[in-house]
Chain A
Amino acid sequence: MRVDGLSFAYPGAAWALCDVSLEIREGEVVALLGPSGSGKSTLVRALAGLVPHFHGGRFAGCVEVAGLDTRRTRPADLAGTVATVFQDPEDQVVMALVTNEVAFGLENVGVPATEIVLRVEAALGRVGAGHLAAKRTTTLSGGELQRVCLASALALEPRLLLLDEPTSQLDPHGAEEFLAAVAELGCAAVLSEHRIDRALSLADRVLYVEEGRVLLDAPVDEAQSWLVTNRPRYAASPSDVDDALCYRNTESGSVRPVVKLERVSFAYGSTSVLEDVSLEVRGGEIVVLEGPNGSGKTTLAKLAAGLLEPDVGRIERFGRAAYLSQDPGRYLVKERVLDEVAFGVGGNVGRARGALDQFGLGWAAERHPRDLSSGERERLGLAATAVCEPDLLVLDEPTRGVDPDRKTAIGDWLLARAAAGTAVVVATHDRTLPAHRRMRLGGEVPVAA
């Protein structure tokens, strides 16, 4: 695979990629790092031929995959040679049954009917999802669905596998398993990923992209030295980050409770999610809710924010609560960024502008929210929640798909909110966020000694 002098701009936008040149050899795993909006996803799409064919725009230079020039070969014709797994599995699943989903690509590229069944079984087996074959895709968890997407890509037996932040929806265990499955593949792969430690452990080579330019293209060892010197947040190991960002103030938080959950139980229909859970959060305190997918973190967060009522138990809130859902970029209501933020404060444009400036989005006030990149939308969601200045701030996975720089900024912002007396509850898998207490569902663990 060869990229030569590639530059690309989406219609009516500035250059997303500038003069990118690189080569990927057979069987090589390349980690693609860089901040949100740096052009990583665009580069992945260019390698799949989706840029320029699907998106349009200005395209210069050349991308060749297995000898095929992507300017003259449509993405559908590259399928099989190239396979792509995108960030959100829900946006790429076509069929209702897992077996049919994995078979979909094979049918499209014309694999003989008798071979399809065998390749579907083999691909599901390779990602440890053989037991899901007869299930409906709508009944799978995010982690299971992402494995099915990987199986769909592997079934094609591609020469180049493109993975665009494939673990952003997964809990740490799910992400480990997913990347372990990728490590077993043997084909060339490009892995765009914000979980840097995992990406580096898997890769042979690292590409670091910023503002559409490749700043680094080097083997892992050499890349790590460069990152330590030039982009230290991209080089830190998770344990280092934990130590650096844990908020070690045992005296933090006032005695004033902002929310008290007493022996709370909750079930969705007949499925029990939480049983006999108690939690008290005081003003100025950050409590992180931890646990694997399906452990009830989101449900507990919604109960704390007052979006759900418990089946059993009692909840008392002393003050106003605000809640930021997972994937807030999907749930935008207004047609102007400024109105989106002002929506929660009765249209107060002055406060909305202040919140936008705080999250570095002042420049986008007049734009349509859906014109923003995914990272910018996440920040817009935070601004729209922060502007309410609640007594209790509840955030559900606020750092999902967020780059290390932005994560640090969010951590600092949480600390500032806590220092101002706000009680903060964060449901997250991310151990780099600051916390006074971490509550693993089933047992509370104080972080500060």
Chain B
Amino acid sequence: MSQPRVVVTGIGALSPIGVGKDAFWEGLLRGENGIREIQVMDTSKHRTHRGGEVRSFGILEDRWTAEEHRLGRASKLAIAASREAWNDSGLAGVKVPPRRIGVACGTTSGESQIFEEEVAEFLDRGHEGLNINRLEYFPVDVIGSSIARHLGVQGPVNTLTTACAAGNYAIGCAADLLRSGAVDVMIAGGADMFSQTAFTGFNSLLAVAPECCQPFDKLRRGMLVSEGAAMLTLETLPHAERRGSHIYAEVLACGISNDAHHMTAPHPEGLGAVTAMHNALRESGLKLEEIDYISAHGTGTPANDKVETLAIKKVFGARAYEIPMSSIKSMIGHTMGAASALEAVACAMAIQHRVIPPTINYRNPDPLCDLDYVPNEARNHPVTVALSNAFAFGGNCSTLILANHARH
């Protein structure tokens, strides 16, 4: 096959447990809980009051251009992560034709904060209350476009909105474009700011836990709404090797599927999840025994964790019990469109550092969730191949497989 291999050469991450990829990774290894009382909105009339927030924009804290200053929070989180990934990959000093560099960013709620502020004015005062100079930054294509504008790149720019699986969809889309030969470099990942709509909506579905996120625990009570961003620099292997770049991992495959079942509930047998994992495994050409670590979707809702466990058993059979599997959502909450991108970062770092981040808040075993969830403490474990699941509203399922590029 003449298609080039695709590798990760740069990482940027902003999360409730740390801003910057190293702070994020150290937080994961410490098993830090990033869930706090929510500051960004008044929760006094809501059922729950806790969530995850990002405390700074990291390397770009006060360095916005006048134009960027006007952007919404999701775009800023996305740009900050992209800038870190760009710098980390060492592309800043390299001449790559700008048309050979593209962007793929996933998001769930987009700039929902702008919408929430403007709709409050609109409901209060009618269209006299609307500020068009602010609304202009609401349509979600602003996120991908703002990253491209910030980096000055001219290749294909896509903003993908496949809800909570959007990060994986963006990484998969980017890998496909790289393999097709249309581009040499892609900045890909996901971003979401803390959305009042998501917080209120998931609460209305009674899907939010009051205190903490306890994936796979018998007493788990739901997800925690959160925010964050992660972007990865992806390149074709020849391009990365030619410039002597550091390589974190190889993107082996991104399998996607859809439950074709229900807008909010997962398929009871995990139909889409199983297909996504099968698609990814087939595309990677790997055997089941070669998977060393599973980064779970693991939201902490009763339904997800049960169905995901079931789906993994269907795919891996007896081997399922031997693969360590953790949910970093236990620490950072559900960062929506950023979640699977942050999980991809965790997988790349796990491959690099040979450590698996834990599932914290795990106390009570559930007979329906009986796999090895790496409870409460990070574990030294060589990871050559990592598989990362992300599932979403509307039945969208995705499985990303990352591997040590020098594994053979």
Is B one of A's binding partners?
no
Question: Which A residues are closer than 8 A to B by beta carbons?
Answer: none
